[in-house]
Structure 1
């Protein structure tokens, strides 16, 4: 096991490798951690020396973006359309009105309303290059209107988990071992998981779902052998005003949290990015979260 910190989260890498392959495990861990840090550096909104900052320094101007950023923007576009506007990476600007620190301080309706003109994926201009026969895109052109912001926080960790796992798998596949002989890997970025196979002796990895009511406690232990798993909830980011709890997940169309949402939703899917998206969308359904999750056909766990 290797541990490191990234994206304001504790991270760990688990590898079902024997002790005699310790050096290889260290190389894999270094490869994965460097990739996570690279993604964090590139898309963090807290830096002024990265691609993210560059995109925001030139509003109202068409800007060429690279293939990786194009993939992320295409995913955001598809998610926005499929969710009918609930998933919107331009909604991060609403944090100027909201501070989810467990206090009872609600923003004024006027403060929230004043930010809504700067929210809305449909207001920016994104033109992706046409995909190749293999489905790849070389880049695209983005025009970000003045006053609007992008926020990759809703998919950054999940994307990084999938990328880190993919690079580790590529390294192992270079040995040309049969698939059955390749060790299982598990990437855990603050509870967002990507897994390539079972643990030692074919046993599944056991992971805990964080309790929404008790810090550093697991409310349930799940098993994963392959694919992605992600949890979305308000255990750490919320407000309580006059006895009413407000989740940090906001409806970008109104600027306010949807009511009657579960405290926590965990979803298992083929990739971590898919898991995270579905978990977030489920919470944004409010009281309709259960029905929404059932309709996806994906394994899921709900904590009220």
Structure 2
């Protein structure tokens, strides 16, 4: 069967679904159902939509608890696991730091601005149970940006699997989930971008099933006095991390792969040990350009 590509925009990213189907109209019909699921998750959890679950939770900070459905509770539980696994570096309350950092301007935020925001960060301050969540301090926020897109990738892939798709993948801004090999049985060859040369790759990885995600210091960054500052921020001091140029991980699920890459970035020099303990395949490039890999 031929492979059909359906491109779309979601979560601020260029996205595509590639699937094998007998006819283009069939491929478009299948992809549309997966895309609808992506948009559902975006509407539900985007901080940019005033009626989203996260916007309601954030608006109620310091005032009252907000009821949560089963899906939201599960994601909050996952966030708690990530916080523990990362020694507190992966913290979904750290999104408030974007109020100080603007990577469109090559200027560091005043230290006083960061000092005002740091007291609003702290996952362990959040009060939650099986049906609600409460941010105890006005100004606190939750942000699923660290795994929301990857969660949407997995949900879209599950929709396509239920519809019988056996060959193809979902790609949301570089976070990918593979439903099966090409129709001829061969693997998809996925290039890993060179973090210092946007038109070049450092490796090509064959993938048939599972997920691939990449985090790096080249997606959103600025340079000040010859130093690069990326958008991945340490919640303990509010400053960008600097040890890794790029981290790519292969895992069964996109949310697992993405969480692993981000955690590695946040752990900086301790990230390699975390990758080794994870047991997953990876390719990581440090700030000196050294490449570390384990591709199984």
TM-score by length of 1: 0.87
Which residue of 186, 210, 234 corresponds with 1:203? 186
Which residue of 208, 231, 234 corresponds with 1:248? 231
- After the TM superposition, which residues 184-199 of structure 1 pair with which residues of structure 2 at under 5 Å, given as runs? 184-199=167-182
1:67: Cα distance to partner?
1.3
> Which one is further off, 157-166 or 109-118?
109-118
Tell me the distance in 2 between the aligned counterparts of 1:90 and 1:63.
16
Structure 2: stretches of 5+ with no match in the other structure: 290-296
Report the equivalent of 1:141: 132
Report the equivalent of 1:274: 256
**Cα deviations across residues 148-181 of structure 1 (Å, max 9, x unaligned)?**
0111111111000000000111121xxxxxxxxx
Structure 1: stretches of 5+ with no match in the other structure: 129-139, 173-181
- After the TM superposition, which residues 70-89 of structure 1 pair with which residues of structure 2 at under 5 Å, given as runs? 70-89=73-92
**Cα deviations across residues 177-224 of structure 1 (Å, max 9, x unaligned)?**
xxxxx6223000010001121112111112222332233544432211
| 1:151 and 2:134 are equivalent in the alignment | no
| 1:67 and 2:42 are equivalent in the alignment | no
1:21: Cα distance to partner?
4.2
- After the TM superposition, which residues 1-304 of structure 1 pair with which residues of structure 2 at under 5 Å, given as runs? 1-17=5-21, 20-59=22-61, 60-101=63-104, 103-128=105-130, 140-145=131-136, 146-172=138-164, 183-259=166-242, 261-303=243-285, 304=289
Question: Closer, same or farther in 2 for the Cα pair 1:170/1:246, shift >3 Å?
Answer: same
Report the equivalent of 2:293: none
Q: Describe the SS at the equivalent of 1:201.
A: coil
Contact 1:104–1:242 (CA under 8 A) maintained in structure 2: no
Contact 1:106–1:239 (CA under 8 A) maintained in structure 2: no
1:246: Cα distance to partner?
1.9
The runs of at least 4 consecutive aligned structure 1 residues that moved more than 4 Å come to none
Report the equivalent of 1:136: none
**What is the RMSD computed on CA atoms of the aligned residues?**
1.6
**Cα deviations across residues 57-86 of structure 1 (Å, max 9, x unaligned)?**
322312211111111111111111121211
Contact 1:193–1:230 (CA under 8 A) maintained in structure 2: yes
1:229: Cα distance to partner?
0.8
Tell me the distance in 1 between the aligned counterparts of 2:114 and 2:135.
21
Q: Describe the SS at the equivalent of 1:111.
A: helix
Tell me the distance in 1 between the aligned counterparts of 2:128 and 2:141.
14
TM-score by length of 2: 0.89
